[in-house]
Amino acid sequence: MIPSVLPTYNRAPLSFVKGEGCWLTEADGRRFLDLGAGIAVNALGHAHPALVAALTDQANRLWHVSNLYEIAQQQALADRLVAATFADTVFFTNSGTEACELAVKMARRHFFDAGRPGRTDIIAFDGAFHGRSSAAIAAAGSEKMTRGFAPLLPGFVHLPWADHDALAAAITDTTAAILVEPVQGEGGIRPLPDQCLKGMRDLCDEHGVLLILDEVQCGMGRTGRLFAHEWAGIEPDIMMVAKGIGGGFPLGAVLATEAAAAGMTAGTHGSTYGGNPLGCAVGCAVMDILADPQFLAGVNRRAGSLRQKLEGLVAAHPDVFEEVRGLGLMLGLKCRVPNAELVAAGHAEQLITVPAADNVIRLLPPLVITEDEIAEGVARLDRAAARMTPS
């Protein structure tokens, strides 16, 4: 008999009842160190007092009015994002998938409005993950994501990862946009080298193509800059954000330049919940903390420390780990043993990590993780690795 919850997930037999900072309490009372942060969502850890205050204050005032009216919290968060980024304008969603939907629509509408309606193709890359809607799975293109869901949304072109020549050859007069994660998350923590991102920007400029960055996982301070593309010194035309921006409250956004967004006039797109007062009140509280250069400097210090300890771990367990990769506090351990087994061994050591493609386990701790917690996390990983090697 089918379970009452549609069985689309492979769930671990763990049920958490409380969270505080980097720690989760299981129903049986055990405390787990959380190096997954709900897949890069709890950027400020669990139950951060500033976020709890922002949410409860707003909950006592007003939950929902719809986008038929002005929403002060939405305006405030949009102003903050515009001030902190390349963007001139922001649309709020409830998730990364919805951000993908709008990014694709916006790019196509841009060329439609510019009198170039034939420019509809979106170039995406092997190993990409942009969500689970029809547009997002067509963008990813993998068998795993699309099998049985045909007919797929047309107009997506798939290229190998980080191959500039293939990209240059693939751009034609039907190309609307390049869609890319500066650091692939689900694909196995694969950072795009700065020179590739710069090369993409140049190709886009040369051919009048839009650059859409998916910073749903790598954005919001995760790599040590507010957004990962800042490391390469380039700016996108459109950017998808979600996960960390709500700190655990469902919130996403599409950021865009005025030129890219020009076609999105009244009536062209909408959302009942997107940009609601609750989500945006929390989003403002997240931005207050995350966008502070001092906070980001701390993320970089902690990232350096975690990375160094992980290099030591890999050296100590050459049969278990192949390498450390990633950027900032978005790190991956490429495994020589099945990654799912290592994640399970971590659970036995009361440690949370997240599996990814390419046999990687992801470490995406809350950005507020302390030095002591980093040391404790690596000690638990060391014990989990020891469980994988027969003594």
State the residues that interact with ligand PLP by CB under 6 A: 95-97, 129-131, 181, 185-186, 214, 216-217, 242-243
Q: Can you tell me the distance from the alpha carbon of 139 to that of 310, in angstroms, rounded to the nearest whole number?
A: 33
HSE value, Cβ hemisphere, 13 Å, CA-based, for 201:
18
For residue 206, the minimal CB distance to ligand PLP (Å) is: 26
For residue 218, the minimal CB distance to ligand PLP (Å) is: 7
Q: With respect to ligand PLP, which residue has the nearer C-beta, 111 or 129?
A: 129
For residue 185, the minimal CB distance to ligand PLP (Å) is: 4
H or E stretch including 263?
none
For residue 133, the minimal CB distance to ligand PLP (Å) is: 8
Q: Can you tell me the distance from the alpha carbon of 217 to that of 41, in angstroms, rounded to the nearest whole number?
A: 8
Give the chain's largest Cα–Cα span: 68
Q: With respect to ligand PLP, which residue has the nearer C-beta, 80 or 243?
A: 243
Q: With respect to ligand PLP, which residue has the nearer C-beta, 119 or 275?
A: 275
- DSSP class of residue 217 equals T
Q: With respect to ligand PLP, which residue has the nearer C-beta, 132 or 198?
A: 132
Residue number with the smallest Cβ distance to ligand PLP: 96
For residue 222, the minimal CB distance to ligand PLP (Å) is: 10
For residue 186, the minimal CB distance to ligand PLP (Å) is: 6
Strands (E), 247-314: 252-256
Q: Which residues pair with 124 in a beta bridge?
A: 158
Q: With respect to ligand PLP, which residue has the nearer C-beta, 42 or 217?
A: 217
HSE value, Cβ hemisphere, 13 Å, CA-based, for 363:
28
The full DSSP string for 250-261 is --EEEEE-TTTT
Closest CA to 220 of 194, 183, 256: 183
Q: With respect to ligand PLP, which residue has the nearer C-beta, 97 or 175?
A: 97
